[in-house]
Structure 1
Amino acid sequence: MKFAVIGGTGLIGSKVVENLNAAGHEATPHALSTGIDVLTGQGLDAALANTDVVVNLTNSPTFDEASPAFFQTSMDNLLSAAQRAGVGHFVILSIVGVDQVPELDYYRAKTLQEDLLKAGSLPYSIVRATQFMEFIEAVLSWTADDNTVRLPRTRLQPIAAADVAAAVADIAAGAPLDGTLDVAGPDAYPLDELGRITLSFKGDKRSVTTDDTAGMFAAVQGDVLTPKNGARIAPTHYTDWLK
């Protein structure tokens, strides 16, 4: 099959392209650097010509109140181009529990992206992943100083980017779900504990202070960012990934 991977040069996209090509498919990465622009529509018709599956892994350049406009415009342009090209399957990557955190601008924007796909006429699949292991250090940096990292007890179940890419490639190569699949790592942790594990492994002497008002994840209530029954559980443990 022929795949157009939009955002195919990024952390997940490059691995999705690699996995699909290794499986014998023809997957082409597309991005601003290859001459397509999802906000203007430039290059989309050429990129999607004779394509069986579109995998949209583009992301908003900001996580603030501007992010819904990015997903509205990019999805409108991509869905229109996919319809013109006769694409048979449209795949996006989203976030486990994304529709349960309306307090966050970016989560509302990703929910909008999902809704736009569901409301369209194309067969589709939505892969929702938990927090990437690769981003845990960035999360810690949001509320850190020279001595302390303040973190809430928000429950996360981190997943390695390689496992996310494997799941996206697998779903993209199959029949459309016309629904959603959750993917997650095998272990769930409160974020403050995850911080202590991370700092300890790296020999970082800063302490972690539990603060349920600290950082973006303070807006998350309960365990909504962890998967429910029916999720695909990836093999990579966080402690093994750290090693």
Structure 2
Amino acid sequence: MKNQTSSSNGTSGKLRIVVLGGTGLIGTKVVSNLRLLGHEVIPASPSLGINAVTGEGLQEALVGTQVVVDVSNSPSFEDKAVMEFFESSNRNLAAAEVAAGVKHHVALSVVGTERLLASGYFRAKMVQETMIKASPIPYTIVRATQFFEFVGSIAQAATSGETVRLSTALMQPIFSGDVAQAVAEAAVAEPLNGTFDLAGPEAKPITEIVQAYLQAHQDARTVIADDAAGYFGTPVNDQSLTPGANPHLGTTSFADWLSRTAPGR
């Protein structure tokens, strides 16, 4: 992934960019990357007085803004709550962007969203994508696979006692830093008015990925292959959690990330 230097308004000048979810795992890295490129970047989150769900501070934050990057996520994954989060935040964002004359909306979504609609979370993400496409604001949707940083959560959700029951379906996770780089590059490029998939450099069975994570953390839990286990309870196959044709690929391997982050490594 190469850095983009041309801006979304066709110039190479300094942009004002608001990053929703700018204090989170991906958002803090996006903010840092964009500032290194010389742009004026405003991190936005409820803790900073800018709340897309309620609209608080949103219109004021967007004054003079050319690009809005949305990497925010629902604090609750309960079906009704997550749907309300994405519907409300995207409705308020679209209205505020139109009023402010925003030129480009960049959103982070999830690879395989349309293949995982048995999950309330993915139904809500599909609604988010649909609302973005229906808005008059030019857009780019970056669909990423699961982050390395959440492999531990996958293990925890599938744990019963000392066993971790997981599907053998393929997954192609990615380092959060590679996601943030791709999102930042999209923010300063021309709008795609489309979507691209973003994934890590290699696909492996979920069981194998989680086993490597547990071993690196000296975790004695036993991984058991069970294709009925699904992914957070949602049925999956080898296409569910892997990108489509011609994806953008991150450069950091899961093994390299583990070697840097596991305790005592």
Pair in the same fold by TM > 0.5: yes
Match for 1:6: what amino acid? L
- Alignment partners' CA distance in 2, 1:219 and 1:48: 40
Q: Which runs of 4+ in 1 moved over 4 A?
A: none
Q: How much does 1:217 deviate?
A: 5.4
TM normalised by structure 1 equals 0.97
**Paired position in structure 2 for 1:199:** 214
1:162 aligns with 2:177: yes
Match for 2:52: what amino acid? V
CA deviation map 1:121-179 (0-9, x unaligned): 11000000001000000110012134211111121101000000000000011000100
1:223 aligns with 2:257: no
Q: How much does 1:231 deviate?
A: 0.8
**Paired position in structure 2 for 1:98:** 113
Q: Say if 1:16 and 1:139 are closer, same or farther in 2 by CA, change over 3 A.
A: same
**Paired position in structure 1 for 2:196:** 181
**Of 26, 29, 33, which aligns to 1:15?**
29
1:208 aligns with 2:208: no
**Paired position in structure 1 for 2:263:** none
Unaligned runs of 5+ in 2: 1-14, 260-265
- Alignment partners' CA distance in 2, 1:61 and 1:207: 30
Kept in 1, the 8 Å contact 2:168–2:206? The answer is yes
The secondary structure found in structure 1 opposite 2:18 is strand
CA deviation map 1:70-121 (0-9, x unaligned): 1111100011000000000001000001111110000010010000000111
Q: How much does 1:229 deviate?
A: 1.8
Kept in 2, the 8 Å contact 1:152–1:218? The answer is no
**Of 50, 60, 77, which aligns to 2:64?**
50
Unaligned runs of 5+ in 1: none
Kept in 1, the 8 Å contact 2:71–2:108? The answer is yes
- Alignment partners' CA distance in 2, 1:222 and 1:154: 5
**Of 83, 93, 114, which aligns to 1:68?**
83
- Alignment partners' CA distance in 1, 2:121 and 2:234: 14
- Alignment partners' CA distance in 2, 1:4 and 1:217: 35
The secondary structure found in structure 1 opposite 2:159 is coil
1:40 aligns with 2:81: no
- Alignment partners' CA distance in 1, 2:195 and 2:222: 38
- Alignment partners' CA distance in 2, 1:101 and 1:163: 24
CA deviation map 1:16-50 (0-9, x unaligned): 00000001111110111111121221111110000
TM normalised by structure 2 equals 0.89
Q: Identity, % of aligned pairs?
A: 44
Match for 1:36: what amino acid? I
1:85 aligns with 2:94: no
The secondary structure found in structure 2 opposite 1:216 is coil
Kept in 1, the 8 Å contact 2:158–2:232? The answer is no
The secondary structure found in structure 1 opposite 2:160 is coil
RMSD value over aligned CA atoms? 1.1
**Paired position in structure 1 for 2:257:** 241
Number of residues of Structure 1 aligned to a counterpart in Structure 2: 243
